Amino acid sequence: MRVLAAGDNFVGPDLLENAVRSRVNDVEVGKLKLPWPVEPFGPVGGVEEASGTEQQVIEAVEGAEVCVTQMAPFTERVFAAAPSLKLVAVSRGGPVNVDLAAATRAGVTVTYAPGRNAAAAAEYAVGMILAAMRRIPDSDAELKRGNWRGDFYAYPEAGIELEGSTVGLVGYGAIGSRVARVLRAFGAEVLVADPYTDQDALRADGVEPLALDEMLPRCSVVSLHARLTPETKHLLDADRLALLPEGAVLVNTARGGLLDYQPLPGLLRSGKLGALALDVYDEEPPPPEWPLHGAPNLITTPHLAGATRQTAHRAAEIVAAEVDRFARGERAAHLANPDVRGSET
């Protein structure tokens, strides 16, 4: 069986190859290295968040039955040029770099890797919450400039504690549920807005389920953990942001499109938002004229929440396990296109 390991600078081709070889015998592996994250991902040939070009993939995938990848663009054009291809195993939480309709028409099974970065992203979100609540980046930056900001200890400038605070989580999947457990250990009251999770199960976890508009006015901190869909785009728009209490902290480590960015600079400058911590953006990277540049009490990081070495290894192992199932004629564990021919195996 010929496999293409289309890796990048995070989940590398060698890592993918080694994971596949550890599970599957008698396999020929070709390798392609894509430029992400040194170069940002973006739309390619009708798919989102991809790295590299269609032509690169077409040339590399020739004759392969399987491709394991994180970011390679699999478009209608690529599928048309790869008649031998039977499986694309994507090492991400969702196969947004794959045209699923085109894959299904071509008879190609597409799998994905749910939960691969759940621990990493949850830890990062909690870190961002703490950094925003306690002004850690501001105090670090000031001291590095030679300024001992003792006034940060003054009451008006002092931060707030998680213990006794009310934190609202938008979304309660693999990441949000982990964040909730950590926050409760800190002594926070945790509210959750997630209509897709059983409300009794939420209560059993010690969190309070609420509708989003009911939750927001009660929260000193809100952290976003929902998927970006047409339904959730700009889920927190100007009207919902206005529901937050004065001085609330807002954290987004999920997807930039969940937030309406237009009102954010004004909310920070007015103090309506006490702090804003972002790891994701409506445009990545933000342009030089980005309106939030220079806004007060803003923490920004370049989409790093899932970036741990364990995540990379976990991702490679998940896709390698799917290749093993394919080689054995078994049904995929994480099937993205259940209507594809042969998915009933």
- Measured CA to CA, the distance from residue 307 to residue 37 in angstroms comes to 10
Cis peptide before 37 (omega within 30 of 0): yes
Integer CA distances (angstroms), 289 to 175, 226, 285, 286, 292, in order: 32, 28, 11, 8, 9
Residues with Cβ within 8 Å of residue 31, at least 6 apart in sequence: 4, 5, 6, 7, 13, 14, 17
Amino acid at 85: L
For residues 327 and 335, give the distance between their C-alpha atoms in angstroms, rounded to a whole number: 15
CA of 66: how far to CAs of 86, 164, 322, in Å? 6, 51, 10
Structure tokens at 130: 């703490």
Just list the catalytic residues.
255, 284, 303
How would you label 37-62 residue by residue, b for 16+ Cβ within 10 Å and e otherwise?
A: beeebeebbebebbbbebebbbebbe
132, 277 Cβ separation under 8 angstroms: yes
- Whether the Cβ atoms of residue 208 and residue 192 lie closer than 8 Å to each other: yes
Report yes or no: 234 and 259 within 8 Å, Cβ to Cβ.
yes
Phi-psi map region of 144: left, alpha, beta (phi>0 left; psi -120 to 50 alpha): alpha
Distance CA 134, CA 145 (A): 19
Is 145 strand, coil or helix?
coil
